[in-house]
Structure 1
Amino acid sequence: MSEQSGTRGVLGARVAVVFGATGWIGRAICHELVRAGASIVMVGRDADRLDALKRELGGGDRVLSTVADVTSQLEVDDARAAAIRRFGRIDLLVVSSGVITGSAFSEGIPADWAEMIDVNLRGLLHASQTFAEPLLDNADRGAPADIVLIGATSTDVRAPRFAVFNALSAAIKQLARALRQEYGPRGMRVHIIEPGFAADQSDEHRNASLPVRDKQHARAASAGTPDAIAAVVTLAAALPRSVNLAEVLLLPTETA
């Protein structure tokens, strides 16, 4: 993100935890949060990639990297403990972990479905529940508290080769809505950001909104999308506590 975007320093008092930090969306979010002044805990499975990103960010003592698999409850617990031990509190959680596998439903491989369910949904449930307690502690004190989930526009548009991914994305959207009702009265905000892609891309690439493993997917995705998502994360967290930027649909201008 350019420094001209006007967000430098707006999150100077915040402590954020980012799951999926080394993914193509997670990296942009980490860059934006550090530039906005937040302290961050980067969570990912690959220690080497986390170390490289930490050097790239240059945030000094404001950046902590923690190796954890979002599908492991014990490792998620350890990530929370490490964050609190380092910074004393957590007031912003961003969950951008995820995998995508696309195929005609009749040709789908159950092992691929299981992996998506495990990472995209069960892992997100682990992270959201585990970090809810410290977030609610902040909210109960009248301090900011936010959960940001990264969803997909494919919950609302046709994506014929991504039936299982779409179903999981819809589940995440409904979870965000339910948590908003549950936690909102206590002052904690829950946001979901649903990004889209350019119209001239294939269905396979246009509907991929979570971090992807296939480099071809990443190259085909809109180059501006990760930065746009990161900017919205910062905007949502920086708003007055009385306002919740609840659901954000991001589409390329030419397709909107």
Structure 2
Amino acid sequence: MTEHTRTAGFCAGRVAIITGAGQGLGRAHALEFARQGAKVVLNDMSASVEAVAAEVRAAGGEAVAVVADIADWEAGRHVVELAVHTFGRLDTLVNNAGVNRDRMLVNMSEAEWDLVMAVNLKGHFVPLRHAAAWWRDRAKAGEPVAARIVNTSSGAGLLGSVGQGNYAASKAGIAALTQVAAVEFARYGVLVNAIAPSARTPMTEAVFAEKMTKPATGFDAMDPANVSGLVAWLGSDAANVTGRVFEIAGGEVSLADGWRHGPPAVQDRRWEPEQLGAVVADLVAKAEPPAPVYGA
């Protein structure tokens, strides 16, 4: 154990920032981190985040809310600084903010592309960058750091999703960002992982409409709270993995297996176009078939 020895919850003594905390998964994460003893800084573009912070405090936890665009450079800096100034430290960043603007690519507007990229991808980078800089300074000063970042990708980002080219690209970018940050931040004592959750939120209500009714067991498989236990573990000092993406839905959790080098074809000269038809056919025959794109 580190200096954050658990005395009153799995995350006791830790300070966590949770973005997109005004509803859905972010709200569930906020409540779970607080239940596990963390002090939380909650961010959202909607004032609903203030009600979530009040909910945390009413349950006996400590929370402050920040209504701001987390993709804005100065807003991201402010959220990190607020955590440090309010609670004296920062231990965990949960990047959860996200939007979708579904459209087939041939009909997608520039604004629909730009908004999704800004909120989802830049909205992960900005707080990640400011938090990591604070942890780097602590590490260089010789202070112990046991920091955690939990990013939010998606099955759409891992496999693709018809009608969600912008969303899928942004979530694939988050998975790649997670891998790079895990390597770059390891020297500072920061572990970086991501989740690809399936849950019923305002963004996915239409997708999971058929699963709105609880089964006979009483277990609501699409409840966002089902995801938050994994996020709390990944955000705690007990976490011991980095650079990984976990899929989670209901009571099922799995480790996503990303791109890997397949079996190569090699020769000691460049390939000519007329050679490559047979070569590609052989490579495809030897490789595992890709998982199908959602909606294909």
Aligned to 2:19: 19
SS at match of 2:235: helix
Which letter does structure 1 place at the counterpart of 2:107?
A: E
Q: Distance in 2 between matches of 1:221 and 1:149?
A: 25
Q: Distance in 2 between matches of 1:137 and 1:240?
A: 23
Q: In terms of Rg, which structure is larger?
A: 2
Which letter does structure 1 place at the counterpart of 2:25?
A: I
Aligned to 1:202: none
What is the 5 A alignment of 1:80-229?
80-137=80-137, 141-196=143-198, 212=202, 216=206, 224-229=222-227
Of residues 224, 234, 237, the one that matches 1:236 is 234
8 Å CA contact 2:226, 2:251 repeated in 1: no
Give TM-score, length-normalised by structure 1: 0.81
Structure 1 residues 170, 225: closer, same or farther in 2, change over 3 A? farther
Structure 1 residues 242, 213: closer, same or farther in 2, change over 3 A? closer
Aligned to 2:73: 73
Q: Distance in 1 between matches of 2:167 and 2:227?
A: 19
Q: Distance in 2 between matches of 1:163 and 1:62?
A: 39
8 Å CA contact 1:144, 1:241 repeated in 2: no
Q: Distance in 1 between matches of 2:50 and 2:115?
A: 26
8 Å CA contact 2:94, 2:235 repeated in 1: no
**Cα RMSD over matched residues?**
2.8
Larger RCO (CA within 8 A; separation ≥ 6):
1
CA drift at 1:185: 2.9
Give TM-score, length-normalised by structure 2: 0.71
Structure 1: any 5+ residue segments left out of the alignment? 1-6, 198-204, 206-210
CA drift at 1:242: 4.6
Q: Distance in 1 between matches of 2:211 and 2:124?
A: 23
SS at match of 2:66: strand
Structure 1 residues 133, 60: closer, same or farther in 2, change over 3 A? farther
Which letter does structure 1 place at the counterpart of 2:78?
A: D
1:206-249 CA-partner distances (Å, limit 9, x unpaired): xxxxx655864686677535222211111112353654483212
Aligned to 1:55: 54
SS at match of 2:98: coil
8 Å CA contact 2:226, 2:249 repeated in 1: no
SS at match of 2:224: helix
1:15-47 CA-partner distances (Å, limit 9, x unpaired): 000111113110000010000010000011223
SS at match of 1:233: helix
1:114-136 CA-partner distances (Å, limit 9, x unpaired): 10011111121111101112233
SS at match of 1:156: helix
Which letter does structure 2 place at the counterpart of 1:172?
A: I
8 Å CA contact 1:187, 1:241 repeated in 2: no
1:150-177 CA-partner distances (Å, limit 9, x unpaired): 1101123341111121111111100100
8 Å CA contact 1:14, 1:91 repeated in 2: yes
Aligned to 2:31: 31
Structure 2: any 5+ residue segments left out of the alignment? 1-6, 213-220, 255-296
Which letter does structure 1 place at the counterpart of 2:29?
A: I
1:183-220 CA-partner distances (Å, limit 9, x unpaired): 113321001001236xxxxxxx9xxxxx6558646866
Which letter does structure 2 place at the counterpart of 1:226?
A: P
CA drift at 1:63: 0.8
8 Å CA contact 2:179, 2:243 repeated in 1: no
How many equivalent pairs are there? Answer: 237
8 Å CA contact 2:99, 2:120 repeated in 1: yes
Aligned to 2:259: none
User: Which has more helix, going by share of residues?
Assistant: 1
Q: Distance in 2 between matches of 1:253 and 1:14?
A: 26
